[in-house]
Amino acid sequence: MSSIVDMTSADTHCPYCALQCAMTLRTGAAGAVTVAGRDFPTNRGGLCQKGWTAADLLTHPDRLTTPLVRAAGRLRPAGWDEALDRIVTAVGDLQQRYGRDAVGVFGGGGLTNEKAYALGRFARVALRTRTIDYNGRFCMSSAAAAGLRAFGLDRGLPFPVADIAAADTVLLVGANPAETMPPFVRHLADRRLIVVDPRVSATARLAALHLQPTPGTDLVLANGLLHVAIGEGLVDADYVAARTTGYDEVRRVVAQWWPARVERLTGVPVADLYATVRQLADADRAVVLTARGAEQHSTGTDTVSAFVNLALALGLPGRPGSGYGCLTGQGNGQGGREHGQKADQLPGYRRIDDPAARAHVAAVWGVHPDDLPGPGPSAYELLSSLGTPSGARGLLVFGSNPVVSAPRAATVTDRLCALDLLVVADLVRSETAELADVVLPTAQWAEEDGTMTNLEGRVIRRRRLRPPPGSVRTDLAVLAELSGRLGAPTSADPRVVFDELRRASAGGPADYAGISYERIDAEGGVFWPCPTPEHPGTPRMFLDRFATPDGRARFVPVDHRAPGELPDDEYPLYLTTGRQLTQYQSGAQTRRIAALPGGPYVELHTELADRLGIADGEPVEISTRRGTAVAPARLSTTIRPDTVFMPFHYAGPGRANTLTGDALDPTSRMPEFKLAAARLTRVRPR
């Protein structure tokens, strides 16, 4: 695979989701940038609406072109020196008064590998703060935690997407790629597809079998499926004996989940449990995939573990053409979690509390290991403690818009407002930027070089078509400027940063040491781990051994726990949140693109609408114990009558995260985005 970059065109990848569809950008005669899909194993030339329109933001009038600083309550334009000096002075003042951890950093799963790495280094070396986490905590952290404890290593898909396209049976749990990453659906064509989703989603409509469990019961469903597999004699006993540990304890736990009991709790018919297991077990190649629907719960890690247990019992992980994987969501959801912007990790996917890891990374950074801070608070705990005696007093936000995307968003907004210093680096005045003391305008994807790691663990190149406009700088340049002013100089050159990242990752679980820009260009991407320049990379993992000390995968016994809250007399409905086709994450970018229609809504079943006297399109008030949102009703027959759905991309009265709660998964610290107890009422004319 060759790549092209010249003055007028660049082969790169989409700025949005983890599929990282390949595209070619071209500059036309009038300077307008056009986008064309490019053939690549993940997208086979396809793009969704978001990808096709991605260039529209390059010249959008909302684009920030100069720093802004707050004066007399308003944001006004400023020069870079004024903006950066103000940040550095405030950081110094806050850290002197309240300690190092009083200044924190909040990153994003869309940042390039270089930026994610530079951000972690900036926090640990320039600020010497333990207060750093990122919005990926809200995305795939439960699957990452479950993958780590089962396989000893977390790579979303431990095999290429081509393996999914060749599988006989695909079980998709809480994933809706037909809406979130449409080109991925090409890989599901002609597969025997089983979808687990409480809604008849666009993906569920493609399925041969759709299981529609009661929200919050996915774990019971998985345990029930394993119970059936055991009862039907479909467990791969040789595989379990040779490649795993812990099966007996899991067998004991799932013994209590006999099919009729599972049907009672989940609503999934017994016959469908048997059909699902049979279709997985009979396949030569079968794949089990989870996504946010299973993961964004206070029981998310255990729920993923339950599906991993099922996959292990059927002998799938590490078998060529089969396996378990997680469909990562954000653009660099995979790489973003490997390079040190996570509260508990150092580059190379190393644990920050591991003395050997600290010594290795400290040597690369030229500091003493004892000077590296320890683990910090997780994303929601970081955000919800801002401005309190136990939390940070200053925060620098890169590539994230927590006013819209964080759970219990009104509380998070209040906490952001309570800060002594809020700095936001972004392309536009996002809702979080509107609250900031300093806003720094940063380059867009077509204006910068770097690498991303797609949902398969394939490291790919982001290539610059043209420089950023006006005085806009790249995030790396901003971090280099700030680091230099804080006495810890770093490079703004992505190649230099990537080379340092390679050294920092060497020997770690996510080893990039053998990957270079030149290799990526020549090979069209390189799968990690890749420890040396001669190493071919690792498209398929776990074929011979898992990354555990004994080389065996670990069954993890998990059992049903109630979610943070359940419907009751006062709040009788399940609320679940998710994405829609035309929008990406907090919508700060896609909501501004005229060609991407959208808007908040509350989806409800016609039966429920009749009961409440609600007409299609009528504004409705939806309340939970956290607050109230207002959005038009969208009537359908494809959702359970006891469940309502809202997309989470919107701010203002239709902000879904006003409603979500702060129950956290005890292992991953994932908030419960997918389940809240809610009440729906008409907004009566005044």
Classify 223 as helix, strand or coil: helix
Amino acid letter, residue 582 = T
Give me the least distance between CB of 327 and ligand SF4, in Å please.
11
Residue nearest to ligand SF4 (CB): 51
Instruction: Select 16 or 247, whichever has its Cβ closest to ligand SF4.
Output: 16
Give me the residues that bind ligand SF4 (CB under 6 A), please. Answer: 14, 16-17, 19-21, 43, 47-48, 50-51, 181-183
Amino acid letter, residue 679 = R
State the alpha helices, DSSP H only, in 29-140. Answer: 49-52, 80-98, 113-121
Instruction: Select 180 or 298, whichever has its Cβ closest to ligand SF4.
Output: 180
Instruction: Select 103 or 181, whichever has its Cβ closest to ligand SF4.
Output: 181
Give me the least distance between CB of 19 and ligand SF4, in Å please.
4
Q: Which 3-state string (H, E, C) describes 258-283? A: CHHHHHHHHCCCHHHHHHHHHHHHCC
Give me the least distance between CB of 179 and ligand SF4, in Å please.
10
Neighbours of 598 (CB within 10 A): 16
Neighbours of 353 (CB within 10 A): 12
Q: Which of 664, 564, 654, 563 is closest to 603 using CA atoms?
A: 654
C-alpha distance from residue 512 to each of 114, 145, 498, 525 (Å): 12, 21, 9, 12
Instruction: Select 428 or 478, whichever has its Cβ closest to ligand SF4.
Output: 428
Give me the least distance between CB of 22 and ligand SF4, in Å please.
9
Give me the least distance between CB of 18 and ligand SF4, in Å please.
7
Give me the least distance between CB of 538 and ligand SF4, in Å please.
23
Instruction: Select 42 or 223, whichever has its Cβ closest to ligand SF4.
Output: 42
Instruction: Select 105 or 181, whichever has its Cβ closest to ligand SF4.
Output: 181
Strand partners, 316: none
Give me the least distance between CB of 35 and ligand SF4, in Å please.
9
Give me the least distance between CB of 48 and ligand SF4, in Å please.
3
What dihedral do alpha carbons 649, 652, 655, 661 form, nearest 10°?
130
Give me the least distance between CB of 47 and ligand SF4, in Å please.
4
Q: What is the DSSP string of 527-548?
A: ESP--STTS---SS--SS--SS
Omega before 529 within 30 of 0, i.e. cis:
yes
Give me the least distance between CB of 17 and ligand SF4, in Å please.
3
C-alpha distance from residue 223 to each of 152, 251, 429, 512, 557 (Å): 22, 9, 46, 37, 10
- For residue 215, the number of C-alpha atoms closer than 13 Å in the C-beta half-sphere is 30
- For residue 566, the number of C-alpha atoms closer than 13 Å in the C-beta half-sphere is 7
CB 557 within 8 A of CB 250: yes
Instruction: Select 17 or 558, whichever has its Cβ closest to ligand SF4.
Output: 17
State the maximum Cα–Cα separation within the chain, in Å, rounded to a whole number.
Answer: 72
Instruction: Select 445 or 673, whichever has its Cβ closest to ligand SF4.
Output: 445
Instruction: Select 445 or 542, whichever has its Cβ closest to ligand SF4.
Output: 445
Instruction: Select 49 or 628, whichever has its Cβ closest to ligand SF4.
Output: 49
CA distance 111 to 452: 8
